[in-house]
Structure 1
Amino acid sequence: MQSPLFGYTEVQSQDRYVLQNPQLLRVQLGGQDDVLARKGAMVAYQGLLEFDGEYQSREQRRRQARTGENLELMRCSGQGTVYLANLAQYVHVMDVEPEGLTVDSSYVLALDSSLHWEVIAVDSQFGISGSGAYNLNITGRGKVALMTSGQPLVLQVTPQTYVSADADAVVAWSGSLRVQMQAQTSSQSVWRRRGSTGEGWELSFMGQGYALVQPSELLPPQNAVVGQGLGAQYGMGRHGAYGQNQGNRFG
Protein backbone atom coordinates (compact mmCIF):
# COMPACT_ATOMS: atom_id res chain seq x y z
CA MET A 1 0.00 0.00 0.00
CA GLN A 2 1.33 3.43 -0.93
CA SER A 3 0.24 6.84 0.25
CA PRO A 4 1.75 10.26 1.07
CA LEU A 5 0.62 9.50 4.63
CA PHE A 6 3.64 7.24 5.06
CA GLY A 7 5.79 10.34 5.05
CA TYR A 8 4.44 11.04 8.54
CA THR A 9 6.29 8.21 10.27
CA GLU A 10 7.79 8.21 13.74
CA VAL A 11 10.83 10.42 14.28
CA GLN A 12 13.67 8.23 15.52
CA SER A 13 15.68 9.58 18.46
CA GLN A 14 17.11 8.44 21.78
CA ASP A 15 16.02 11.63 23.53
CA ARG A 16 13.33 11.41 26.19
CA TYR A 17 11.23 14.22 24.70
CA VAL A 18 10.97 14.32 20.90
CA LEU A 19 8.64 16.39 18.75
CA GLN A 20 7.10 14.22 16.05
CA ASN A 21 5.75 17.36 14.43
CA PRO A 22 5.07 20.87 15.78
CA GLN A 23 1.86 19.67 17.44
CA LEU A 24 2.69 16.15 18.65
CA LEU A 25 5.12 15.12 21.39
CA ARG A 26 6.67 11.71 22.00
CA VAL A 27 8.00 10.82 25.46
CA GLN A 28 10.18 7.76 26.13
CA LEU A 29 9.64 5.96 29.43
CA GLY A 30 12.25 3.56 30.75
CA GLY A 31 10.45 2.23 33.81
CA GLN A 32 12.13 4.53 36.33
CA ASP A 33 11.26 8.18 35.68
CA ASP A 34 7.55 8.83 35.24
CA VAL A 35 6.13 11.70 33.26
CA LEU A 36 3.15 13.81 34.35
CA ALA A 37 0.86 14.77 31.47
CA ARG A 38 -2.30 16.81 31.10
CA LYS A 39 -5.35 14.64 31.69
CA GLY A 40 -6.65 13.27 28.41
CA ALA A 41 -3.56 14.34 26.42
CA MET A 42 -2.54 10.80 25.41
CA VAL A 43 -3.29 10.13 21.73
CA ALA A 44 -1.32 6.85 21.35
CA TYR A 45 1.26 4.71 23.12
CA GLN A 46 3.51 1.69 22.65
CA GLY A 47 4.78 -0.75 25.25
CA LEU A 48 3.68 -1.61 28.77
CA LEU A 49 2.43 1.69 30.15
CA GLU A 50 -0.03 2.61 32.87
CA PHE A 51 -2.00 5.84 33.28
CA ASP A 52 -3.19 6.92 36.71
CA GLY A 53 -4.70 10.11 38.08
CA GLU A 54 -2.11 12.17 39.92
CA TYR A 55 -2.76 12.51 43.65
CA GLN A 56 -3.54 16.00 44.96
CA SER A 57 -2.76 16.89 48.53
CA ARG A 58 -5.29 18.61 50.75
CA GLU A 59 -3.30 21.84 50.47
CA GLN A 60 -3.33 21.64 46.67
CA ARG A 61 -7.09 21.14 46.68
CA ARG A 62 -7.53 24.12 49.00
CA ARG A 63 -5.41 26.31 46.74
CA GLN A 64 -7.38 25.20 43.71
CA ALA A 65 -10.65 26.15 45.39
CA ARG A 66 -9.26 29.50 46.53
CA THR A 67 -7.42 30.57 43.35
CA GLY A 68 -9.07 28.63 40.53
CA GLU A 69 -5.56 27.76 39.28
CA ASN A 70 -4.83 24.06 39.05
CA LEU A 71 -2.82 21.63 36.98
CA GLU A 72 -4.85 18.45 36.44
CA LEU A 73 -2.39 15.70 35.62
CA MET A 74 -2.18 11.99 34.99
CA ARG A 75 0.91 9.93 35.78
CA CYS A 76 2.37 7.91 32.88
CA SER A 77 4.60 5.07 34.05
CA GLY A 78 6.13 1.85 32.75
CA GLN A 79 8.31 1.02 29.77
CA GLY A 80 7.41 2.29 26.35
CA THR A 81 6.51 5.39 24.39
CA VAL A 82 3.59 7.76 24.86
CA TYR A 83 2.40 10.34 22.34
CA LEU A 84 0.84 13.53 23.73
CA ALA A 85 -1.13 16.35 22.10
CA ASN A 86 -3.89 18.79 22.98
CA LEU A 87 -6.26 20.46 20.51
CA ALA A 88 -3.53 20.57 17.83
CA GLN A 89 -1.70 23.30 19.73
CA TYR A 90 2.00 23.90 19.08
CA VAL A 91 4.27 22.06 21.53
CA HIS A 92 7.58 23.37 22.89
CA VAL A 93 10.01 21.50 25.18
CA MET A 94 11.95 23.60 27.69
CA ASP A 95 14.55 22.93 30.36
CA VAL A 96 13.54 24.37 33.71
CA GLU A 97 16.32 26.70 34.84
CA PRO A 98 17.41 26.98 38.50
CA GLU A 99 15.34 30.15 39.00
CA GLY A 100 12.20 28.30 37.91
CA LEU A 101 9.49 28.93 35.35
CA THR A 102 6.15 30.69 35.87
CA VAL A 103 3.35 29.54 33.58
CA ASP A 104 -0.41 29.47 33.29
CA SER A 105 -1.59 25.91 33.95
CA SER A 106 -3.65 26.00 30.74
CA TYR A 107 -0.44 25.89 28.68
CA VAL A 108 1.25 22.87 30.33
CA LEU A 109 1.17 19.63 28.34
CA ALA A 110 3.66 17.48 30.28
CA LEU A 111 6.55 17.66 32.75
CA ASP A 112 9.05 15.39 34.47
CA SER A 113 7.74 13.94 37.71
CA SER A 114 10.90 15.17 39.46
CA LEU A 115 9.80 18.79 39.06
CA HIS A 116 7.88 20.64 41.76
CA TRP A 117 5.05 23.09 41.12
CA GLU A 118 2.99 25.37 43.30
CA VAL A 119 0.44 28.15 42.87
CA ILE A 120 1.80 31.68 43.31
CA ALA A 121 0.13 35.09 43.21
CA VAL A 122 0.94 37.52 40.40
CA ASP A 123 1.12 41.22 41.21
CA SER A 124 -2.50 42.01 40.41
CA GLN A 125 -5.51 43.42 42.17
CA PHE A 126 -7.86 41.97 39.59
CA GLY A 127 -8.37 38.48 38.22
CA ILE A 128 -9.81 39.59 34.89
CA SER A 129 -6.93 38.84 32.53
CA GLY A 130 -6.24 35.58 30.73
CA SER A 131 -3.22 35.03 32.96
CA GLY A 132 -5.29 35.86 36.02
CA ALA A 133 -4.01 36.75 39.46
CA TYR A 134 -2.48 33.30 40.06
CA ASN A 135 -0.09 31.13 38.07
CA LEU A 136 2.11 28.07 38.54
CA ASN A 137 5.76 28.28 39.55
CA ILE A 138 7.65 25.19 38.36
CA THR A 139 11.03 24.51 40.00
CA GLY A 140 13.65 21.77 40.06
CA ARG A 141 15.65 20.09 37.32
CA GLY A 142 13.89 18.57 34.35
CA LYS A 143 11.90 19.30 31.24
CA VAL A 144 8.46 20.73 30.71
CA ALA A 145 6.39 20.73 27.50
CA LEU A 146 4.36 23.88 26.94
CA MET A 147 1.62 24.60 24.40
CA THR A 148 0.83 27.72 22.41
CA SER A 149 -1.87 28.70 19.95
CA GLY A 150 0.39 29.31 16.94
CA GLN A 151 4.13 29.85 16.80
CA PRO A 152 5.26 31.88 19.85
CA LEU A 153 7.62 34.79 20.38
CA VAL A 154 10.40 34.70 22.99
CA LEU A 155 11.26 38.16 24.32
CA GLN A 156 14.47 38.76 26.24
CA VAL A 157 14.18 40.92 29.35
CA THR A 158 17.22 42.78 30.68
CA PRO A 159 17.70 45.45 33.36
CA GLN A 160 17.94 47.97 30.49
CA THR A 161 15.07 46.56 28.43
CA TYR A 162 11.65 46.13 30.00
CA VAL A 163 9.00 44.09 28.21
CA SER A 164 5.24 44.56 28.36
CA ALA A 165 2.74 42.15 26.80
CA ASP A 166 -1.00 41.63 26.64
CA ALA A 167 -1.94 39.58 29.68
CA ASP A 168 -4.14 37.33 27.54
CA ALA A 169 -1.22 36.47 25.22
CA VAL A 170 1.46 35.72 27.85
CA VAL A 171 2.22 32.01 28.24
CA ALA A 172 5.20 31.82 30.60
CA TRP A 173 8.21 33.73 31.93
CA SER A 174 11.40 33.20 33.89
CA GLY A 175 10.77 32.85 37.60
CA SER A 176 13.46 35.43 38.36
CA LEU A 177 11.55 38.28 36.68
CA ARG A 178 9.57 40.90 38.57
CA VAL A 179 6.04 41.23 37.24
CA GLN A 180 3.47 44.00 37.46
CA MET A 181 -0.01 44.12 35.99
CA GLN A 182 -1.23 47.43 34.65
CA ALA A 183 -3.82 48.92 32.32
CA GLN A 184 -2.73 50.89 29.27
CA THR A 185 -5.91 52.95 29.39
CA SER A 186 -7.55 54.80 32.26
CA SER A 187 -11.06 54.59 30.84
CA GLN A 188 -13.71 52.26 32.18
CA SER A 189 -13.56 50.29 28.92
CA VAL A 190 -10.66 48.33 30.40
CA TRP A 191 -13.26 46.21 32.19
CA ARG A 192 -14.59 45.15 28.81
CA ARG A 193 -11.78 43.13 27.26
CA ARG A 194 -12.81 44.17 23.75
CA GLY A 195 -13.61 47.75 24.66
CA SER A 196 -13.06 50.94 22.66
CA THR A 197 -9.28 50.44 22.43
CA GLY A 198 -9.26 46.68 21.98
CA GLU A 199 -6.56 46.50 24.67
CA GLY A 200 -6.98 45.77 28.35
CA TRP A 201 -4.62 44.54 31.04
CA GLU A 202 -0.96 43.92 30.36
CA LEU A 203 1.97 42.36 32.23
CA SER A 204 5.24 44.26 32.57
CA PHE A 205 8.44 42.24 33.12
CA MET A 206 11.61 43.60 34.74
CA GLY A 207 14.92 41.97 35.56
CA GLN A 208 16.89 39.34 33.66
CA GLY A 209 15.18 36.50 31.81
CA TYR A 210 12.67 35.66 29.10
CA ALA A 211 8.96 36.03 28.46
CA LEU A 212 7.04 33.71 26.13
CA VAL A 213 4.13 35.21 24.18
CA GLN A 214 1.73 33.48 21.80
CA PRO A 215 0.06 35.07 18.73
CA SER A 216 -3.40 34.66 20.23
CA GLU A 217 -5.40 36.22 23.03
CA LEU A 218 -7.89 33.38 23.29
CA LEU A 219 -7.45 29.89 24.63
CA PRO A 220 -9.14 27.07 22.73
CA PRO A 221 -12.17 25.52 24.47
CA GLN A 222 -10.21 23.20 26.79
CA ASN A 223 -13.29 21.73 28.42
CA ALA A 224 -15.78 21.65 25.57
CA VAL A 225 -17.87 18.54 26.19
CA VAL A 226 -19.66 16.60 23.48
CA GLY A 227 -23.30 16.26 24.48
CA GLN A 228 -23.55 19.72 26.03
CA GLY A 229 -25.00 21.31 22.92
CA LEU A 230 -23.84 22.13 19.43
CA GLY A 231 -22.55 25.53 20.47
CA ALA A 232 -20.00 24.05 22.88
CA GLN A 233 -18.41 22.05 20.08
CA TYR A 234 -17.74 25.32 18.27
CA GLY A 235 -16.36 27.14 21.30
CA MET A 236 -19.56 28.90 22.34
CA GLY A 237 -21.60 28.79 25.53
CA ARG A 238 -20.40 27.97 29.03
CA HIS A 239 -18.61 24.84 27.77
CA GLY A 240 -16.86 26.67 24.94
CA ALA A 241 -14.11 29.25 24.66
CA TYR A 242 -16.26 32.05 26.07
CA GLY A 243 -17.35 30.06 29.09
CA GLN A 244 -13.84 28.81 29.81
CA ASN A 245 -12.16 32.20 29.33
CA GLN A 246 -14.14 34.67 31.37
CA GLY A 247 -11.24 37.13 31.31
CA ASN A 248 -11.85 37.71 27.61
CA ARG A 249 -14.91 39.94 27.51
CA PHE A 250 -16.75 40.06 24.21
CA GLY A 251 -19.54 42.49 25.03
Structure 2
Amino acid sequence: MRSDLFSPQNAEARMQQPGMKLQNSKMLKVGLNGEMMVRQGAMVAYQGNIQFQGQGAGGIGKFVKQQLTGEGVPLMRCSGTGDLFLADLASDIHLLDLEGPHDGLTINGKNVLAFEPTLSFDIRRVQGAGMLSNAGLFNCVFSGQGRIAITTKGTPVVLSVDQPTYADPQAAVCWSSSLQTGFHSAEQFGLGTLMGRTTGEAFTMSFSGQGFVVVQPSEEVPGGFVGGTGGGQQAGQSGASVAGVLGNFLGR
Protein backbone atom coordinates (compact mmCIF):
# COMPACT_ATOMS: atom_id res chain seq x y z
CA MET A 1 0.00 0.00 0.00
CA ARG A 2 1.29 3.47 -0.84
CA SER A 3 0.27 6.77 0.71
CA ASP A 4 1.74 9.97 2.16
CA LEU A 5 0.17 8.76 5.39
CA PHE A 6 3.08 6.33 5.74
CA SER A 7 5.74 9.04 5.52
CA PRO A 8 8.46 9.00 8.22
CA GLN A 9 6.97 12.05 9.94
CA ASN A 10 3.93 9.96 10.94
CA ALA A 11 5.94 6.99 12.20
CA GLU A 12 6.16 6.28 15.92
CA ALA A 13 8.62 8.53 17.71
CA ARG A 14 11.77 6.64 18.70
CA MET A 15 12.67 6.69 22.39
CA GLN A 16 16.04 5.85 23.89
CA GLN A 17 14.65 5.46 27.41
CA PRO A 18 11.28 5.40 29.22
CA GLY A 19 9.47 8.69 29.74
CA MET A 20 7.55 11.30 27.78
CA LYS A 21 8.22 12.45 24.23
CA LEU A 22 6.12 14.44 21.77
CA GLN A 23 4.84 12.18 19.01
CA ASN A 24 3.80 15.42 17.33
CA SER A 25 2.46 18.76 18.50
CA LYS A 26 -0.97 17.23 19.27
CA MET A 27 -0.03 13.82 20.65
CA LEU A 28 2.19 12.61 23.49
CA LYS A 29 4.01 9.28 23.54
CA VAL A 30 4.86 7.74 26.90
CA GLY A 31 7.41 4.94 26.95
CA LEU A 32 6.16 3.24 30.09
CA ASN A 33 8.32 1.10 32.35
CA GLY A 34 6.73 1.64 35.75
CA GLU A 35 3.99 4.19 36.45
CA MET A 36 2.61 7.43 35.04
CA MET A 37 -0.26 9.66 36.18
CA VAL A 38 -2.56 10.47 33.26
CA ARG A 39 -5.71 12.51 32.80
CA GLN A 40 -8.73 10.22 32.52
CA GLY A 41 -9.95 9.96 28.94
CA ALA A 42 -6.63 11.10 27.43
CA MET A 43 -5.51 7.68 26.17
CA VAL A 44 -6.00 7.31 22.40
CA ALA A 45 -3.90 4.15 21.88
CA TYR A 46 -1.43 1.87 23.65
CA GLN A 47 0.77 -1.13 23.00
CA GLY A 48 2.15 -3.60 25.47
CA ASN A 49 1.12 -4.75 28.93
CA ILE A 50 -0.39 -1.68 30.64
CA GLN A 51 -2.95 -1.55 33.46
CA PHE A 52 -5.21 1.43 34.15
CA GLN A 53 -6.57 2.34 37.57
CA GLY A 54 -8.86 5.31 38.23
CA GLN A 55 -7.61 7.70 40.91
CA GLY A 56 -10.47 10.21 41.17
CA ALA A 57 -8.86 13.58 41.85
CA GLY A 58 -5.74 12.05 43.36
CA GLY A 59 -6.85 10.85 46.80
CA ILE A 60 -9.76 11.52 49.20
CA GLY A 61 -8.44 14.91 50.27
CA LYS A 62 -8.03 16.16 46.71
CA PHE A 63 -11.39 14.65 45.74
CA VAL A 64 -13.15 16.61 48.47
CA LYS A 65 -11.31 19.77 47.41
CA GLN A 66 -12.29 19.15 43.81
CA GLN A 67 -15.95 18.87 44.77
CA LEU A 68 -15.79 22.08 46.80
CA THR A 69 -13.87 24.14 44.27
CA GLY A 70 -14.86 22.70 40.90
CA GLU A 71 -11.13 22.32 40.15
CA GLY A 72 -8.87 19.33 40.01
CA VAL A 73 -7.55 16.63 37.71
CA PRO A 74 -9.50 13.36 37.24
CA LEU A 75 -6.59 10.94 37.11
CA MET A 76 -5.78 7.37 36.22
CA ARG A 77 -2.62 5.56 37.22
CA CYS A 78 -1.03 3.75 34.27
CA SER A 79 1.40 0.98 35.18
CA GLY A 80 3.31 -1.71 33.35
CA THR A 81 5.49 -1.73 30.24
CA GLY A 82 4.65 -0.52 26.77
CA ASP A 83 3.87 2.59 24.74
CA LEU A 84 1.02 4.91 25.64
CA PHE A 85 -0.34 7.61 23.33
CA LEU A 86 -2.21 10.58 24.83
CA ALA A 87 -4.13 13.55 23.42
CA ASP A 88 -6.85 16.00 24.41
CA LEU A 89 -9.14 17.20 21.60
CA ALA A 90 -6.13 17.96 19.36
CA SER A 91 -4.85 20.60 21.80
CA ASP A 92 -1.19 21.57 21.58
CA ILE A 93 1.02 19.67 24.05
CA HIS A 94 4.08 21.01 25.87
CA LEU A 95 6.57 19.33 28.22
CA LEU A 96 7.97 21.00 31.33
CA ASP A 97 10.64 19.66 33.68
CA LEU A 98 10.43 20.64 37.35
CA GLU A 99 13.87 20.40 38.87
CA GLY A 100 13.52 20.48 42.65
CA PRO A 101 11.53 21.41 45.75
CA HIS A 102 11.79 25.14 45.00
CA ASP A 103 10.61 24.76 41.40
CA GLY A 104 6.81 25.00 41.42
CA LEU A 105 4.11 25.36 38.78
CA THR A 106 0.56 26.64 39.25
CA ILE A 107 -1.72 25.36 36.49
CA ASN A 108 -5.37 25.23 35.53
CA GLY A 109 -6.50 21.64 36.12
CA LYS A 110 -8.03 21.51 32.64
CA ASN A 111 -4.57 21.85 31.11
CA VAL A 112 -2.91 18.91 32.89
CA LEU A 113 -2.41 15.94 30.54
CA ALA A 114 0.09 13.68 32.35
CA PHE A 115 2.87 13.82 34.92
CA GLU A 116 5.45 11.61 36.52
CA PRO A 117 4.48 10.23 39.96
CA THR A 118 7.62 11.78 41.47
CA LEU A 119 5.77 15.11 41.36
CA SER A 120 3.37 16.11 44.11
CA PHE A 121 0.35 18.35 43.64
CA ASP A 122 -2.41 20.02 45.59
CA ILE A 123 -5.49 22.13 44.87
CA ARG A 124 -5.06 25.63 46.27
CA ARG A 125 -6.85 28.93 46.16
CA VAL A 126 -5.19 31.38 43.78
CA GLN A 127 -3.52 34.17 45.74
CA GLY A 128 -5.46 37.41 45.51
CA ALA A 129 -8.70 35.75 44.36
CA GLY A 130 -10.85 37.46 46.93
CA MET A 131 -13.92 38.04 44.75
CA LEU A 132 -16.48 35.67 43.28
CA SER A 133 -15.99 35.20 39.57
CA ASN A 134 -16.12 32.61 36.82
CA ALA A 135 -12.33 32.73 36.73
CA GLY A 136 -10.49 29.72 38.09
CA LEU A 137 -9.98 30.73 41.70
CA PHE A 138 -8.58 27.32 42.61
CA ASN A 139 -5.75 25.79 40.59
CA CYS A 140 -3.37 22.84 40.87
CA VAL A 141 0.11 23.46 42.27
CA PHE A 142 2.84 21.01 41.28
CA SER A 143 6.22 20.74 42.97
CA GLY A 144 9.17 18.37 43.22
CA GLN A 145 11.30 16.84 40.50
CA GLY A 146 9.82 15.33 37.37
CA ARG A 147 8.18 15.99 34.02
CA ILE A 148 4.65 17.21 33.33
CA ALA A 149 2.77 17.47 30.04
CA ILE A 150 0.32 20.35 29.68
CA THR A 151 -2.06 21.38 26.91
CA THR A 152 -2.96 24.72 25.35
CA LYS A 153 -5.63 25.69 22.86
CA GLY A 154 -3.39 27.03 20.13
CA THR A 155 0.21 28.20 20.25
CA PRO A 156 0.79 30.08 23.53
CA VAL A 157 3.01 32.98 24.45
CA VAL A 158 5.37 32.69 27.44
CA LEU A 159 5.58 36.05 29.19
CA SER A 160 8.62 36.80 31.33
CA VAL A 161 7.37 38.61 34.41
CA ASP A 162 10.01 41.29 34.88
CA GLN A 163 7.43 44.10 34.98
CA PRO A 164 3.76 44.29 36.04
CA THR A 165 1.94 41.73 33.89
CA TYR A 166 -1.79 41.24 33.33
CA ALA A 167 -3.84 38.53 31.62
CA ASP A 168 -7.41 37.39 31.15
CA PRO A 169 -7.92 34.74 33.87
CA GLN A 170 -9.51 32.40 31.31
CA ALA A 171 -6.48 32.59 29.00
CA ALA A 172 -3.75 32.16 31.65
CA VAL A 173 -2.78 28.48 31.53
CA CYS A 174 -0.01 28.28 34.12
CA TRP A 175 2.63 30.34 35.90
CA SER A 176 5.57 30.09 38.27
CA SER A 177 4.18 29.36 41.72
CA SER A 178 6.63 31.90 43.16
CA LEU A 179 4.75 34.77 41.49
CA GLN A 180 2.37 36.99 43.41
CA THR A 181 -1.08 37.16 41.83
CA GLY A 182 -4.10 39.37 42.17
CA PHE A 183 -7.55 39.88 40.67
CA HIS A 184 -8.78 43.32 39.65
CA SER A 185 -11.95 44.72 38.20
CA ALA A 186 -11.40 45.66 34.57
CA GLU A 187 -12.99 49.01 35.41
CA GLN A 188 -9.88 49.84 37.44
CA PHE A 189 -7.91 49.85 34.19
CA GLY A 190 -10.54 51.63 32.12
CA LEU A 191 -11.24 48.44 30.20
CA GLY A 192 -14.85 47.95 31.27
CA THR A 193 -16.44 45.08 29.37
CA LEU A 194 -13.53 44.93 26.91
CA MET A 195 -11.94 42.22 29.07
CA GLY A 196 -13.27 38.69 28.69
CA ARG A 197 -14.57 39.08 25.14
CA THR A 198 -16.12 35.58 25.03
CA THR A 199 -16.70 34.85 28.70
CA GLY A 200 -18.26 38.07 29.93
CA GLU A 201 -15.61 38.34 32.64
CA ALA A 202 -15.03 41.80 34.06
CA PHE A 203 -11.76 40.91 35.80
CA THR A 204 -8.10 40.85 34.93
CA MET A 205 -5.36 38.90 36.68
CA SER A 206 -2.07 40.48 37.70
CA PHE A 207 1.33 38.85 38.14
CA SER A 208 4.40 40.26 39.86
CA GLY A 209 7.78 38.98 41.01
CA GLN A 210 10.21 36.88 38.98
CA GLY A 211 8.98 34.06 36.79
CA PHE A 212 6.82 33.33 33.75
CA VAL A 213 3.18 33.15 32.70
CA VAL A 214 1.89 30.97 29.86
CA VAL A 215 -1.07 32.54 28.01
CA GLN A 216 -3.03 30.67 25.34
CA PRO A 217 -4.84 32.33 22.40
CA SER A 218 -8.21 31.09 23.61
CA GLU A 219 -10.39 31.57 26.66
CA GLU A 220 -11.58 28.58 28.64
CA VAL A 221 -15.33 28.29 29.03
CA PRO A 222 -16.05 29.41 32.62
CA GLY A 223 -17.53 27.09 35.20
CA GLY A 224 -19.58 27.84 38.32
CA PHE A 225 -19.18 30.76 40.69
CA VAL A 226 -15.94 29.33 41.99
CA GLY A 227 -14.76 28.57 38.49
CA GLY A 228 -12.78 25.89 36.80
CA THR A 229 -14.37 22.68 35.69
CA GLY A 230 -17.95 22.58 36.93
CA GLY A 231 -21.08 24.42 35.90
CA GLY A 232 -23.12 26.53 38.25
CA GLN A 233 -25.52 23.71 39.04
CA GLN A 234 -22.65 21.35 39.73
CA ALA A 235 -21.00 23.88 42.00
CA GLY A 236 -24.27 24.42 43.81
CA GLN A 237 -24.57 20.71 44.46
CA SER A 238 -21.02 20.46 45.81
CA GLY A 239 -21.94 20.88 49.47
CA ALA A 240 -24.35 17.96 49.45
CA SER A 241 -22.01 15.70 47.48
CA VAL A 242 -19.05 16.49 49.72
CA ALA A 243 -21.12 15.85 52.83
CA GLY A 244 -22.06 12.46 51.43
CA VAL A 245 -18.47 11.64 50.55
CA LEU A 246 -17.21 12.64 53.99
CA GLY A 247 -20.01 10.73 55.70
CA ASN A 248 -19.24 7.55 53.77
CA PHE A 249 -15.51 7.98 54.23
CA LEU A 250 -15.55 8.75 57.94
CA GLY A 251 -18.16 6.08 58.61
CA ARG A 252 -15.87 3.30 57.44
Report the alpha carbon displacement of residue 13 of structure 1 after superposing the two structures with TM.
Answer: 2.5
Report the alpha carbon displacement of residue 184 of structure 1 after superposing the two structures with TM.
Answer: 2.0
Q: Identify the residue that residue 145 of structure 2 maps to in structure 1.
A: 141
> Do the aligned partners of 1:121 and 1:134 also contact (CA within 8 Å) in 2?
yes
Q: 1:220 to 1:23 in 2, by over 3 A?
A: farther
Between the aligned partners of 1:121 and 1:94, the Cα distance in structure 2 is 22
Q: Identify the residue that residue 52 of structure 1 maps to in structure 2.
A: 53
- The equivalences for 1:1-251 within 5 A come to 1-7=1-7, 8-15=10-17, 16-30=19-33, 32=34, 34-54=35-55, 56-97=58-99, 98-122=102-126, 123-130=128-135, 132-158=136-162, 161-185=163-187, 193-194=196-197, 200-219=202-221
Q: Can you give the 5+ residue segments of structure 1 that lack an aligned partner in the other structure?
A: 222-242, 247-251
Q: 1:40 to 1:178 in 2, by over 3 A?
A: same
Report the alpha carbon displacement of residue 10 of structure 1 after superposing the two structures with TM.
Answer: 1.0
Q: Could you give the per-residue CA deviations for residues 184-213 of structure 1, whole angstroms, max 9, x where no partner exists?
A: 2159x65x9549xx7631111111111000
Q: Could you give the per-residue CA deviations for residues 113-139 of structure 1, whole angstroms, max 9, x where no partner exists?
A: 111110111121234244x21111111
Between the aligned partners of 2:60 and 2:15, the Cα distance in structure 1 is 40
Count of equivalent residues: 219
Query: What SS class does the counterpart of residue 218 from structure 2 fall into?
Result: coil
Report the alpha carbon displacement of residue 155 of structure 1 after superposing the two structures with TM.
Answer: 0.5
Between the aligned partners of 1:183 and 1:166, the Cα distance in structure 2 is 11
> Do the aligned partners of 2:134 and 2:222 also contact (CA within 8 Å) in 1?
no
Report the alpha carbon displacement of residue 167 of structure 1 after superposing the two structures with TM.
Answer: 0.8
> Do the aligned partners of 1:219 and 1:245 also contact (CA within 8 Å) in 2?
no
Q: Could you give the per-residue CA deviations for residues 60-81 of structure 1, whole angstroms, max 9, x where no partner exists?
A: 2221222111110011110111
Q: Could you give the per-residue CA deviations for residues 98-123 of structure 1, whole angstroms, max 9, x where no partner exists?
A: 33100010000000011111011112
> Do the aligned partners of 1:38 and 1:73 also contact (CA within 8 Å) in 2?
yes
Q: Can you give the 5+ residue segments of structure 2 that lack an aligned partner in the other structure?
A: 224-228, 233-252
Q: Could you give the per-residue CA deviations for residues 137-164 of structure 1, whole angstroms, max 9, x where no partner exists?
A: 1111001000000001000112xx1211
Query: What SS class does the counterpart of residue 103 from structure 2 fall into?
Result: coil
Aligned residue identity for 2:5: L
Which stretch shows the higher mean deviation, 82-91 or 176-185?
176-185
TM, length-normalised to structure 1 = 0.79
Aligned residue identity for 2:53: D
Between the aligned partners of 2:36 and 2:6, the Cα distance in structure 1 is 29
Q: Could you give the per-residue CA deviations for residues 51-97 of structure 1, whole angstroms, max 9, x where no partner exists?
A: 11126433222212221111100111101110000100000010124
Between the aligned partners of 2:132 and 2:231, the Cα distance in structure 1 is 12
Report the alpha carbon displacement of residue 173 of structure 1 after superposing the two structures with TM.
Answer: 0.2
Query: What SS class does the counterpart of residue 14 from structure 1 fall into?
Result: coil
Q: 1:10 to 1:104 in 2, by over 3 A?
A: same
> Do the aligned partners of 1:89 and 1:149 also contact (CA within 8 Å) in 2?
yes
Greater fraction strand:
2
